[in-house]
A and B are shown apart, each in its own frame.
Chain A
Amino acid sequence: MLLPRERGPLSRRVLQTLRTGPGSSRSTTAFTELALGPDSVVTDEDAQLALWTLYELHYRGFDDAAEDLEWDPTVLRLRRTLERRFERELREAVALRLRSLPGEAPVGETLLALPATSTGPSPAAYLHRHASREVVVDFLRERSLQQLKESDPQAFVLPRLTGRSKVALAELLYDEFGGGRPERLHQRLFAEAMVSVGLDPTYGTYVDEVGALSLASANAMSMFGLHRRLRGAAMGHLAVFEATSSVPSRKIAGGMDRLGLPPAAAAYFHEHVEADSVHEHLAAHDICGAMVAEEPGLREDVLVGAAVCLHLDELSALELTERWNPTAPTAQEVAS
């Protein structure tokens, strides 16, 4: 994969640093902080692309960036500036939702009840009943940013867990990674879905085309996965991600069948109807429940991660449905 195209001053600065190495720019900018404006970074494509690019050093890397930049202090410093703001904004955005939750219920039950608090349009329902082939292709292109590395961010958490929660995360990941069969690797099933509708399944191909929220959704998972401090948030996010997958996956598969797309397109989603009906319980009860039982202080972050997943899904749904169907009522109109 090659470095993406810049989308503004923040990504320009990051790309410049990665392209030339921090040493060569030491005289001017290497040690100055990134200047973030007052606007939200969550919905800012420039900030999210900058962060995504920095995170990719930890996954597949770039052919045109040196591999040792992954742990370069100057590069980590750029990442830290973006992350601090991103994390703060996400925590603020979900604070109200979390205050309304009952404090007494077991964390697993609270997690699985959370998706019912979600509002706004449903891309899955639109894909099911109304979407054209072009819209389905657009959806796969947007999702490719995270699905081609599906479960990779959560795999970073495994060495940070012990006992029951570690075993349950390993069970979940083993299933995600094909259960011993490379042809069942979920990342590969997604790539096959892409190929079946004429998309290029090469990792990172569409990064220049995807929206801010697709980048932000992938980045939230990376931030939670890469910081041990945020292990609770990583697993709470996973629980809600899984709990909001099975029913929408069935609708999306139905929409693909309605359009007569090749079976490989829907196969990925059919697989997730069944797999995620297992995974949501594994994640909510066996992973998060066990983590919180062992370390009660993690409860708050587990719920923060869960609510962040819903929050970003809602923003992402708005971005997508407004693009696909500009005459549809906006979320604000639906809510009022």
Chain B
Amino acid sequence: MRLSGPDDVSVRSCPGGPDLVRGATLVVDDDGVQHEVTRPVVAICRCDRSSRMPWCDSTHKAVRPR
């Protein structure tokens, strides 16, 4: 996974949840597919179970009940 943007890209991991990414305009996944960022902040999946990769879809709540 590669994050790119015109300015600084910041990443913060949420406990038991996704990475919150600010400042990225493009997310390139491990297969080289580019995903355009359309929100001021995006959540990147960390559990690999999202059905909308690379974006978090909250599936982790079902996999790892809090």
Contact = CB atoms under 8 A, between A and B. Distances in A.
Given A247-B58, A274-B57, 15 more contacts: A109-B15, A116-B65, A172-B41, A175-B41, A247-B61, A273-B52, A273-B57, A274-B55, A277-B58, A278-B20, A281-B18, A281-B20, A281-B43, A282-B20, A282-B41
A174 interface: yes
Interface of A: 109, 112-113, 116, 171-172, 174-175, 179, 246-247, 250, 273-278, 280-282, 285
Contacts of A116: 65-66
**Secondary structure class of chain B's binding surface, majority of residues:** loop
A109 B17 CA distance: 11
A278 B39 CA distance: 9
B14 interface: yes
B11 interface: no
Contacts of B41: 171-172, 175, 278, 282
23 contacts: A112-B17, A112-B66, A174-B40, A175-B39, A179-B38, A179-B39, A246-B57, A247-B58, A247-B62, A250-B58, A274-B43, A275-B39, A277-B18, A277-B55, A277-B57, A278-B18, A278-B41, A278-B56, A280-B58, A281-B14, A281-B17, A281-B18, A282-B20
B47 to A, nearest CB: 12
Nearest to A174: B40
Contacts of A109: 15
A278 to B, nearest CB: 4
